[in-house]
A and B are shown apart, each in its own frame.
Chain A
Amino acid sequence: MIRIELEKRAQHSAIFSLTSPLIALVITAVLGAIMFLMLGKSPTAALYSYFIEPLTEMWSIHELMIKAAPLILIATGLSVCFLSNNWNIGAEGQFILGGIFGSALPIMYPEFTGPMVLPLMLLMGIVGGAAYATIPAFLKARFSTNEILSSLMLVYVAQLFLDWLVRGPWRNPEGYNFPESRTFHADAVLPEIWFASGRAHWGFVFAILIAVLMWFVLNKTLKGFEVRVLGLSPRAGRFAGFSSNKMIFTAFIIAGGLAGLAGISEVSGAIGQLRPVISPGYGFTAIIVAFLGRLNPLGIIAAGLILALSYLGGEAAQISIGVSNKVSAVFQGLLLFSVLACDTLIHYSIKVVKSARGKAAL
């Protein structure tokens, strides 16, 4: 009986730790090249279209920012949750609720215009997402309900609620009954950062500012220390006078608020109206981003950009070398797999254990 075990290394190499993402990238490139060769495509052209082509043109860099912004915002919020041992899987739902709350203003009061509209919308988006996140927080703090299940199931509630809104009360009166809201008026649209060169909006700026701020809070303040301690050992935290229950609310409200901000930024900046579906799964992808960035907001910025690049690269590869979108998805999987494998192998070593028969049963 042979088993394979992961054994924690006594100490891990600082150099490997730092360069691990790069090593992962190289491994992905090599594995990808083999895959493309087997498909009869030129590996150089394929890798070029994945990693370089999206960065060769200004408009495409804008698109990268659009794609990365919600991922970074949501993942930053989630890092607070995950560090404090609160498993919020429902960012997708908080994103949607943020989009809905923020959109209430331009949809229900289209005649209300002016410079106050946008700040109010963003604020309502944050409130919407945060309020929605307090539901699983309350259930966990009061009844010890498993927050993984409650937050995940609330995603479906949010999706159906949005679906009902755009087919029912918020349906565009001039829209031939098609399921979408009226389009937002100019004052309700998040402006582009740098007009005329692309359509990236201020959502990206929010994402970067907030991630940097969060990095500071988590690493340089007492509150950040509290988050970590309660995550690592709730008991130790209690001795230090930190409240687990308060932390549950804090973490969920921050994560929900940021997901809500991401939601209203996406709706207002990138879409311009409510539709039955406003997110291609940002809330779930952001979980991957949070861990790829090792729950460090600065790492999350990098991870968000890389993941966004892999989406854009996947499209570019479909067009310029003609691979199917399944191949794009496989390639993205290779990337994530390599990153996680590298990280794991730096901290753990693989050990083949030969054990006696009797022992194996244990």
Chain B
Amino acid sequence: MKKFTKTILGAAAFSLLAGSAMAADAKACFIYVGPIGDFGWSYQHHQGLLAVEEAYGDKVETAYLESVPEGADAERAIERFARSGCNIIFTTSFGYMDPTNKVAAKFPDVKFEHATGYKRESENVATYSSKFYQGRYIQGQIAAKMSEKGVAGYIASFPIPEVVRGINSFMLGAQSINPDFKVKVVWANTWFDPGKEADAAKSLIDQGVDILTQHTDSTAPMQVAEERGIKAFGQASDMIEFGKKTQLTAIIDDWAPYYVERVGAVLDGTWESHDVWHGLAEGNVAMAEYSNMPDDVAAMAKETEEKIKSGELEPFTGPIKKQDGSDWLAEGEKADNGTMLGMNFYVEGVDDKLPQ
């Protein structure tokens, strides 16, 4: 019976103005670039959606679209949400930036939140991201301690600033322990493709790396590392279930607090556009349990984590040279936000040529 009324209601909702028949106070909608079952990036965003449901119960209705390609399809998906009564729409991939802004201009009453972008062309668009690179610095330090060969493999997705920043931060962390540490990079050119990611992992291991880290979203590299008996870092989500003897730690993207806060702001009418870039200190980035390593390494990692949280340590602090040997940051100098957001060069020591 309940299902039947729901059907009738559903049909009625579309014959009336969409959304007006909803009982909830607000509707929060999410667009994901991958499947929610990727156990990485999109999975974590979906955890945020679940947290919103838990926090507000019947007061907030939710909806999501998964595996939405970046491009012309994204604009339609966002517009569909805007028209179907969503009050706030989270678009959770960089490639949704222009579509989000285009649709936002047409629907001034709907709030838009775009992850990892920089364009806020109208007042109803906010942007948010996290300082994942802070976690990468800790990973770099662990890698330098744990690697016997002094070489780590890095499975990267696309050469956009966020990914380059992660590689550099990892490198700087590793160099702080072992100045001769090497990082080999493979570009998978995908966010989610277990087959390609596994191939990348295998080829890196065959090239002699004994630590693996990834900036792609599937658990495939972790599983390959487990099979081959080397250590690895999880990405976006705690992947310990996929590498019980393998995972050293993982950078966990915890979007839940932010999503709960922003949906709450819509409910009580205090929502405003902003640009936030939170990190370990605010809890938007968290480290999974330090496992499969000696106690002293775990202790060092924890200490670094605390230092980054308190602001005592900022990974991008000079002296830092660029890959070509030219000076970038002088002693004690910190990178400015503009350079950070548009980073398109490697620091010294990365064993790769940045695709340009």
Separation of A167 and B187 alpha carbons in the complex (Å): 14
The 8 Å CB contact of A178, one of B71, B72, B77, B160, is: B160
The A234-284 residues at the B interface (CB cut-off 8 A) are 266, 270-273, 275-280
Kindly report which residue of chain A lies nearest to residue B164, judged by CB atoms.
Answer: A177
- Would you call A197 an interface residue if the criterion is a C-beta within 8 Å of the partner chain's C-beta atoms? no
How many positions in chain B have a CB within 8 Å of any CB in the partner chain? 44
- Name the residue on B nearest A281 (C-beta): B69
Taking the nearest CB of chain B, how far is it from the CB of A215, in angstroms?
27
Query: How far is B121's CA from A146's CA once the two chains are assembled, in angstroms?
Result: 50
A19 contacts the other chain (Cβ, under 8 Å)? Answer: no
Known A167-B355, A325-B65: A48·B11 in contact at CB below 8 Å: yes
Q: List 18 A-B contacts (CB under 8 A).
A: A42-B6, A42-B7, A48-B10, A56-B15, A163-B189, A178-B160, A179-B159, A266-B72, A270-B75, A271-B71, A272-B98, A273-B98, A275-B70, A275-B71, A280-B73, A320-B10, A320-B84, A325-B65
Assess A276 versus B7: contact at CB under 8 Å? Given A56-B15, A319-B81: no
Interface size class of A (residues with CB under 8 A): 35 or more
- Asked whether B11 lies within 8 Å of A176 as measured between CB atoms, the reply is no
Find the A residue at minimum CB distance from B13.
A320
In the complex, A179→B189 CA distance in Å? 12
B283 close to chain A: CB less than 8 A: no
7 smallest CB-CB distances across A and B, nearest first, come from: A176-B342, A270-B72, A177-B344, A45-B7, A42-B7, A280-B69, A177-B342
| CB atoms of B98 and A325 under 8 A apart | no
For the complex, what is the distance from the CA of A336 to the CA of B63, rounded to whole Å?
Answer: 28
Tell me if B72 and A57 are in contact (CB < 8 A). no
CB neighbors of A among B297-350 (8 A): 341-344
Check if A321 is an interface residue, CB within 8 A of chain B.
Answer: yes
Task: Specify which chain A residues have a CB less than 8 angstroms from the CB of B95 in the assembled complex.
Answer: 275
Partner of B160, one of A179, A280, A321, A322: A179
Q: Which residues of A contact B244 (CB under 8 A)?
A: none
| A324 proximal to B (CB < 8 A) | yes
A225 within 8 Å of B by Cβ? no
Give the CA-CA distance A322 to B356 in the complex, in Å: 41
> Cβ of A56 and Cβ of B14 under 8 Å apart?
yes
| B228 sits at the interface (CB 8 A) | no
Q: Does A78 reach chain B (CB closer than 8 Å)?
A: no
List A residues 305-329 near B (Cβ within 8 Å): 312, 315-316, 318-322, 324-326
Q: Any chain B CB within 8 A of the CB of A168?
A: yes
Complex CA gap A239/B356 in Å reads: 55
Return chain A residues, CB-CB under 8 Å to B36.
324
Q: Is the CB of B71 within 8 A of A322?
A: no
Give residues of chain A (159-198) contacting chain B, Cβ–Cβ below 8 Å. Answer: 163, 167-168, 176-179, 183
Contact assessment for A168 and B71 in the assembled complex, using a CB-CB cutoff below 8 Å: no
> Cβ of A271: which chain B residues have Cβ within 8 Å of it?
71-72
Do B65 and A167 have beta carbons less than 8 Å apart? no
The CA of A67 and the CA of B76, in the complex, are separated in Å by 10
- Given A42-B4, A280-B71, A319-B80, A183 contacting B98 (CB threshold 8 A): yes
Shortest beta-carbon distance, A32 to chain B, in Å? 15
C-alpha spacing A59/B6, complex, angstroms: 25
Whether B194 is near chain A, meaning CB under 8 Å from some CB there, is: no
Cβ-closest chain B residue relative to A176 = B342
Which of A163, A276, A321 has the most CB atoms of chain B within a 10 A radius of its CB?
A: A276
With contact pairs A48-B11, A177-B342, A275-B70 given, residues A59 and B79 touching in the complex (Cβ less than 8 Å): yes
Q: Residues of A contacting B79 with CB < 8 Å? A: 59, 63
Name the B residues within 8 Å of A270 (CB-CB).
72, 75
Q: Say yes or no: A45-B11 contact (C-beta < 8 A), given A59-B79, A275-B95, A277-B69.
A: yes
The yes or no answer to A44 lying at the interface (CB within 8 A) is: yes
By a CB distance below 8 angstroms, the chain B residues around A199 are 75
A276 to B160, CA, bound (A): 12
Q: Which residues of A contact B273 (CB under 8 A)?
A: none
B83 in contact (CB, < 8 A): yes
Interface centre among A53, A178, A312, A315 (most CB of B within 10 A): A178
A66, CB-defined interface residue at 8 Å: yes
B74 CB, min distance to chain A CBs, angstroms:
10
Q: In the complex the two chains form, what is the Cα distance from A240 to B356 in whole Å?
A: 54
Complex Cα distance A280/B94, Å?
17
Q: Say yes or no: is B158 at the interface (Cβ < 8 Å to chain A).
A: yes
Does B193 touch A at the CB level, under 8 Å? no
- Asked whether A57 and B160 contact (CB < 8 A) given A66-B76, A177-B342, A271-B71, the answer is no
Q: Which of A49, A163, A178, A319 contacts B94 (CB 8 A)?
A: A178
Please state if B83 and A59 are interface contacts (CB–CB under 8 Å). yes
B66 beta carbon closer than 8 Å to chain A? yes
Nearest A-chain residue to B3, judged by Cβ: A42
Inside 8 A of A66's CB, which chain B residues have their CB?
Answer: 72, 76
- Residue in chain A with minimal CB distance to B8: A45
A45 touches B72 (CB 8 A): no
What residues of chain A lie closer than 8 Å to B3, measured between beta carbons? 42
Q: Are A176 and B158 in contact (CB under 8 A)?
A: no
Chain A residues in 8 Å Cβ range of B69: 277, 280
Q: Across the interface, which residues of A come within 8 angstroms of B63, CB to CB?
A: 319, 322
Q: Which of A67, A199, A278 has the most CB of B within 10 A?
A: A199
Contacting A at CB under 8 A, from B53-90, are: 63-67, 69-73, 75-77, 79-81, 83-84
| Closest CB in chain A relative to B91 CB, distance in Å | 15
Shortest Cβ distance from residue A322 to the other chain B in the assembled complex, whole angstroms: 7
Does B264 count as interface, using CB distance less than 8 angstroms? no
- The answer on a CB contact under 8 Å between B7 and A318 is no
Partner of B159 from the list A167, A280, A324 (CB cut-off 8 Å) is A167
* Alpha-carbon separation in the docked complex, A177 to B338 (Å): 11
Within the assembled complex, what's the spacing in Å between the Cα atoms of A271 and B71? 7
A158 to chain B, nearest CB (A): 15
- Quick one: closest A residue to B341, CB to CB? A176
In the complex, the answer to whether B160 meets A325 with C-beta atoms within 8 Å is no
A103 to B119, CA, bound (A): 23
CB neighbours of B29 from chain A (8 A)? 319
**Chain A residue at smallest Cβ distance from B338:** A176
Contact B83 A57, beta carbon cutoff 8 Å: yes
Which of B10, B84, B158 is most buried by chain A, counting CB atoms within 10 A of its CB? B10
The chain B residue sitting closest to A164, CB to CB, is B355
| Complex CA distance for A111 and B346, rounded to whole angstroms | 34
